[in-house]
Amino acid sequence: MKTVNIKLTLAENVKDFVNIVSKYPYEIDLRSGRHVVDAKSILGIFSLDLSKPVTLEVYSDDCDNLMEEIKPFVI
């Protein structure tokens, strides 16, 4: 499992982020405090407090391609 902090400030960022993570077959979650949502769900992401960074949890160790694609969102 890999974990990174990301920042999604604009609705356009959320749309681009979901389009990227939806291409990958493994489970990916976003965590904000005690709330956890599927990172492939736009509605789930908007239910989080996006004013602060959220934690991305990828349930795969072979996710270098994903990490490269989401670099603009990683803080």
Which pTM was predicted?
Answer: 0.93
25 DSSP assignment: -
Judge contact between 20 and 66, C-beta under 8 A: yes
Please report the pLDDT score of residue 12 as a whole number: 96
Q: How far apart are CA 12 and CA 10, in angstroms?
A: 5
Neighbours of 24 (CB within 10 A): 16
Please state the φ and ψ torsions of residue 4, each to the nearest 5 degrees.
-140, 155
pLDDT in tens, 8-55: 999 999 999 999 999 999 999 999 999 999 999 999 999 999 999 999
pLDDT in tens, 22-31: 999 999 999 9
